[in-house]
Structure 1
Amino acid sequence: MTESKITQLQPLPGDWQRALAVVAHPDDLEYGCSAAVAAWTDAGREVAYVLATRGEAGIDTLDPAVCGPLREREQRASAAVVGVGTVEFLDHRDGVIEYGTALRRDIAAAIRRHRPELVVTLNHRDTWGGVAWNTPDHVAVGRATLDAAADAGNRWIFPELVEQGLEPWNGVRWVAVAGSSSPTHAVDAAPGLDRAVRSLLEHRTYIEALTDQDPEAYVRDFLTETTTATGKRFGGTPAVAFEVFGR
């Protein structure tokens, strides 16, 4: 088998109607996969966002009490650009999210509320590939999301959720991990790329604290480079990559 055949990415399965994206912070999805989200909502699919934190510890020059509400507003505006109207926050503390049953329970509850066939999250591995270290928040939320996809379907793991009116949902068919160093599938990014740029630009306060570069140039360069690089493994079409776990 040739190397080119080994590394080619497959199209993400499309026979689903509802997706739930679960990440740690505002902007995680915009850096990771919003071009794919735009394509999905254009096709009439339902996508909801759940964020573990409000990103309140993300800007050094802003007190968390000021930063959290600001980043929440930016996230809601960002989601709206790509057709997502439902954005929920679990109110775990930014920077110190703990993997464990409390986090799994919160995410399982969200899965039961939204009843998706596809769950999306961000890289749960220790690195972004090589020596680029991942953050503890991303690792905790990504791993908990993979676990909660199964927890959501088992009434005996968190029986208190049933008492709250959240019946088990065993309908998750795939968990798709964006930003993985071991991707298996991809989604055409070309139709949604301009909206992905505008979506990430809604996080202007964060971006201006992150770089001295012009925000629009920074965002467009970043998303163009990442989708173009992925496209080399997807028939030359700009793409968003995912590592897909079937259930």
Structure 2
Amino acid sequence: MNGRLTPLPEDWRRALAIVAHPDDLEYGAAAAVAHWTASGKEVSYLLVTRGEAGIATMEPGEAARVREAEQRASAAVVGVGSVEFLDHRDGVIEEGVALRRELAAAIRRHRPELVVTLNHHDTWDGVNWNTPDHRAVGRATLDAAADAGNRWIFTDLADRGLRPWDGVRRVAVAGSPQPTHAVEVGEQDVERAVASLAEHRAYIEALSGREPAEYARDVVTGVLDSVAPRADGRRAVAFEVHPRG
């Protein structure tokens, strides 16, 4: 990454974060969420799956229950009380009109000015292949931000009382290999983000075999430190921002 990242504007009040799995937001973006909620902004989470295919040593039904509980606890650490799940199957999310409709419905219901999602590109940093779930949800979220405001798309939503919402001003993509903006975070934001990731105890222990708090600190500080050279030397969360309107 080269060049200074532009500060992400904070002229908004409500945000909706849409991702595929429990823990997707905790690998860096939660530090920005902690910063936002501490400043009085309202942030809600929408998870497309319950992450039931994410723990190889745990049967999917049990994993779904455990990971949902971990996500709710994780969100609470950074000041998020609204956590919803769409119950798509983990690992086989289908990008398309049906998913766009569900996400547009959620955007109309929450009426955010900022929508946050995760890397929709083919790779992480141009090297490691991204998962199909991340790609599908990220791309559908970008589409749904526009769909939510179009009265002639998904007209059945209005019949359900979900009026068009054209108030999304930006979609911010976390973990993108093409970041444009950054949110600088303070020490308390970092500590809350570390604690938030550490709440995914069962997932982290199965994934790494490490103690969750230690693992979380290494991961979160590593992500935030990697952005610092492009944020005036301060720890920050990087986003690829797509303005609307």
Aligned pair 1:245/2:242, yes or no?
A: yes
Number of residues of Structure 1 aligned to a counterpart in Structure 2: 243
Take 1:176 and 1:163, find their aligned partners in 2: how far apart are those partners?
Answer: 29
Aligned partner (choices 126, 134, 138) of residue 130 of structure 1: 126
1:114 aligns with 2:118: no
Alpha-carbon distance in 2 for matches of 1:79, 1:103: 23
Give the conservation status (yes or no) of the 8 Å contact 2:27–2:223: no
**Residue 103 in structure 1 maps to residue 99 in structure 2:** yes
Q: Structure 2 length normalisation: TM-score?
A: 0.97
The answer to whether the 8 A contact 2:28-2:224 is kept is: no
The alpha carbon displacement at 1:131 in A equals 1.8
Q: Secondary structure at the match of 2:26?
A: helix
The correspondence of residues 30-109 of structure 1 with structure 2, limited to 5 A, is: 30-109=26-105
Question: Counterpart of 2:192?
Answer: 195
Give the 3-state SS of the residue equivalent to 1:99 in structure 2.
Answer: coil
- Cα shift at 1:26: 0.2
Q: What's the CA shift string for 1:50-77, capped at 9, x where partnerless?
A: 0000001110111111110110010000
Does the residue aligned with 1:61 lie in a helix, a strand or coil? coil
User: Helix, strand or coil for the counterpart of 2:83?
Assistant: strand
Take 1:215 and 1:86, find their aligned partners in 2: how far apart are those partners? 24
Structure 1 segments, 4+ long, off by >3 Å, are: none
Farther off after superposition, 9-18 or 217-226 = 217-226
The aligned counterpart of 1:209 is 206
Q: TM-score, normalised by structure 1?
A: 0.97
Q: Residue 144 of structure 2 aligns with which residue?
A: 148
Unaligned segments of structure 2, at least 5 residues: none
Letter in 2 for 1:194: E
- Which residue of structure 1 aligns with residue 217 of structure 2? 220
Please give the per-residue CA displacement for 1:27-47, whole angstroms capped at 9, x wherever unaligned: 000113000000100111000
CA distance in 1, matches of 2:215, 2:68: 22
Q: 1:163 aligns with which of 152, 159, 162?
A: 159
CA distance in 2, matches of 1:32, 1:179: 8
Q: Distance in 2 between matches of 1:71 and 1:94?
A: 12
Structure 1 residue 189, shift from structure 2 partner: 2.2
CA contact (8 A) 1:32 1:122 kept: no
Distance 1:155 1:93 in 2: 29
